[in-house]
């Protein structure tokens, strides 16, 4: 599975696709593997009051997924195209630990 962090609800267009702003500005959609979700949330979205994560089935995506290192020594999946509605298995909210860090448990 792949995961995409959300700060608001997904908004599907008429063709059943979601196009995050980074698709336009950077040319791809940022995704994470399960072990990366909490780190990304805490590193880049710690001040956001509520986060959700979309669990994505990669075989149902129409665009190419490339695993690339953005220059930090770890590779992340990037989707070169929109997220199709049929690729999203579920959406759930992230919770915080007692210390305030985002916690991710894909089995929840």
The CATH code of the domain that includes 58 is 3.20.170.20
Nearest residue to 78 (alpha-carbon basis) of 26, 9, 34: 26
Residue 108 within any structural domain of the chain = no
Residue 85 within any structural domain of the chain = yes
What is the number of domains present in the chain? 1
User: Which pLDDT value is given to residue 103?
Assistant: 96
- Which range of residues forms the domain containing residue 23? 2-103
User: pLDDT (tens digit, 9 = 90+) per residue, 45-94?
Assistant: 999 999 999 999 999 999 999 999 988 899 999 999 999 999 999 999 99
Nearest residue to 77 (alpha-carbon basis) of 86, 65, 63, 85: 65
Other Cβ atoms less than 10 A from the Cβ of 28: the count is 19
What pTM value is reported for the model?
A: 0.93
CA distance 42 to 1: 20
Nearest residue to 54 (alpha-carbon basis) of 98, 106, 95, 102: 106
């Amino acid at each position: 599975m792949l995961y995409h962090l959300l700060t608001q609800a997904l908004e599907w267009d008429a063709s059943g696709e979601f196009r995050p702003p980074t698709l336009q500005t950077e040319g791809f959609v940022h995704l994470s593997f399960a072990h990366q979700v909490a780190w990304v949330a805490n590193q880049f979205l710690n001040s956001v009051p509520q986060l959700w994560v979309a669990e994505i089935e990669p075989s149902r995506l129409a665009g190419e997924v490339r695993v690339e290192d953005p220059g930090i020594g770890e590779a992340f999946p990037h989707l070169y195209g929109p997220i199709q509605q049929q690729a999203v298995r579920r959406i759930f909210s992230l919770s915080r630990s007692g210390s305030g860090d985002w916690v991710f448990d894909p089995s929840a």
